[in-house]
Amino acid sequence: MTTQCPRCHSTAVITKDLARKVGALVGTVGGAAQGVTGAMAGAEVGAVVGLVAGPAGVVAGGMAGAILGGLAGAATGCIAGAKLGEVIDERVLDNYACLDCELSFNRRQSV
Protein backbone atom coordinates (compact mmCIF):
# COMPACT_ATOMS: atom_id res chain seq x y z
CA MET A 1 0.00 0.00 0.00
CA THR A 2 1.52 3.30 -1.08
CA THR A 3 0.46 6.61 0.39
CA GLN A 4 0.76 9.67 -1.80
CA CYS A 5 1.20 13.25 -0.72
CA PRO A 6 -2.06 15.13 -1.51
CA ARG A 7 -0.16 18.30 -2.38
CA CYS A 8 2.83 17.23 -4.52
CA HIS A 9 1.84 13.56 -5.14
CA SER A 10 5.23 12.36 -3.95
CA THR A 11 5.38 8.82 -2.63
CA ALA A 12 8.20 9.76 -0.24
CA VAL A 13 5.80 9.68 2.68
CA ILE A 14 6.56 8.55 6.22
CA THR A 15 4.28 7.68 9.12
CA LYS A 16 4.96 9.48 12.38
CA ASP A 17 3.19 6.98 14.68
CA LEU A 18 3.46 9.47 17.53
CA ALA A 19 0.33 8.38 19.40
CA ARG A 20 1.27 4.72 18.99
CA LYS A 21 4.64 5.25 20.68
CA VAL A 22 3.16 7.37 23.48
CA GLY A 23 0.28 4.91 23.87
CA ALA A 24 2.64 1.96 24.19
CA LEU A 25 4.65 3.77 26.86
CA VAL A 26 1.59 4.92 28.83
CA GLY A 27 0.05 1.47 28.45
CA THR A 28 3.19 -0.21 29.78
CA VAL A 29 3.31 2.01 32.86
CA GLY A 30 -0.45 1.83 33.43
CA GLY A 31 -0.48 -1.91 32.79
CA ALA A 32 2.36 -2.47 35.24
CA ALA A 33 0.50 -0.44 37.87
CA GLN A 34 -2.64 -2.43 37.23
CA GLY A 35 -0.49 -5.56 37.22
CA VAL A 36 0.53 -4.76 40.80
CA THR A 37 -3.11 -5.31 41.78
CA GLY A 38 -3.00 -8.61 39.95
CA ALA A 39 0.38 -9.25 41.50
CA MET A 40 -1.16 -9.03 44.97
CA ALA A 41 -3.62 -11.73 44.00
CA GLY A 42 -0.81 -13.67 42.32
CA ALA A 43 1.32 -13.34 45.43
CA GLU A 44 -1.51 -14.66 47.60
CA VAL A 45 -2.05 -17.63 45.32
CA GLY A 46 1.69 -18.20 45.20
CA ALA A 47 1.90 -18.00 48.99
CA VAL A 48 -0.94 -20.48 49.41
CA VAL A 49 0.69 -22.88 46.96
CA GLY A 50 4.00 -22.24 48.72
CA LEU A 51 2.49 -23.18 52.11
CA VAL A 52 2.76 -26.81 51.09
CA ALA A 53 6.53 -26.39 50.79
CA GLY A 54 6.94 -24.52 54.10
CA PRO A 55 8.07 -20.92 54.96
CA ALA A 56 10.63 -20.75 52.13
CA GLY A 57 7.91 -21.83 49.72
CA VAL A 58 5.64 -18.99 50.86
CA VAL A 59 8.33 -16.40 50.04
CA ALA A 60 9.30 -18.00 46.72
CA GLY A 61 5.67 -18.55 45.71
CA GLY A 62 4.72 -14.98 46.62
CA MET A 63 7.66 -13.53 44.69
CA ALA A 64 6.92 -15.62 41.61
CA GLY A 65 3.25 -14.61 41.71
CA ALA A 66 4.08 -10.90 42.08
CA ILE A 67 6.64 -10.92 39.26
CA LEU A 68 4.32 -12.79 36.90
CA GLY A 69 1.42 -10.45 37.69
CA GLY A 70 3.51 -7.33 37.08
CA LEU A 71 5.00 -8.61 33.83
CA ALA A 72 1.67 -9.79 32.48
CA GLY A 73 0.10 -6.42 33.32
CA ALA A 74 2.89 -4.45 31.64
CA ALA A 75 2.80 -6.59 28.49
CA THR A 76 -0.99 -6.41 28.21
CA GLY A 77 -0.95 -2.66 28.84
CA CYS A 78 1.75 -2.09 26.23
CA ILE A 79 -0.23 -3.91 23.54
CA ALA A 80 -3.50 -2.21 24.46
CA GLY A 81 -1.82 1.22 24.57
CA ALA A 82 -0.17 0.73 21.19
CA LYS A 83 -3.47 -0.38 19.65
CA LEU A 84 -5.28 2.64 21.07
CA GLY A 85 -2.48 4.94 19.88
CA GLU A 86 -2.73 3.46 16.38
CA VAL A 87 -6.41 4.38 16.25
CA ILE A 88 -5.61 7.94 17.40
CA ASP A 89 -2.84 8.18 14.78
CA GLU A 90 -5.21 7.02 12.05
CA ARG A 91 -8.32 8.99 12.98
CA VAL A 92 -7.22 12.08 14.89
CA LEU A 93 -3.66 13.07 14.11
CA ASP A 94 -2.00 13.91 10.81
CA ASN A 95 0.03 10.74 10.91
CA TYR A 96 1.64 11.14 7.51
CA ALA A 97 4.46 13.47 6.57
CA CYS A 98 5.73 14.16 3.06
CA LEU A 99 9.51 14.19 2.79
CA ASP A 100 9.45 16.37 -0.33
CA CYS A 101 7.21 19.30 0.68
CA GLU A 102 7.00 18.61 4.47
CA LEU A 103 3.21 18.56 4.43
CA SER A 104 1.58 16.71 7.30
CA PHE A 105 -1.67 15.04 6.38
CA ASN A 106 -4.21 12.45 7.38
CA ARG A 107 -4.77 9.36 5.23
CA ARG A 108 -8.41 10.28 4.64
CA GLN A 109 -7.26 13.36 2.71
CA SER A 110 -5.22 11.31 0.26
CA VAL A 111 -6.97 9.89 -2.79
CB 31 within 8 A of CB 75: yes
Choose one: 5-13, 25-33, 49-57, 65-73; the region binding Zn ion (CB under 5 A).
5-13
| Residues 6 or more apart in contact with residue 56 via CB below 8 angstroms | 50
Question: 26 or 98: whose CB is closer to Zn ion?
Answer: 98
| Residues 6 or more apart in contact with residue 74 via CB below 8 angstroms | 28, 31, 32, 35
59, 101, 104, 109: residue in contact with Zn ion (rule CB under 5 A):
101
27, 78, 98, 105: residue in contact with Zn ion (rule CB under 5 A):
98
User: Which residue ranges make up the site for Zn ion (CB under 5 A)?
Assistant: 5, 7-8, 10, 98, 100-101, 103
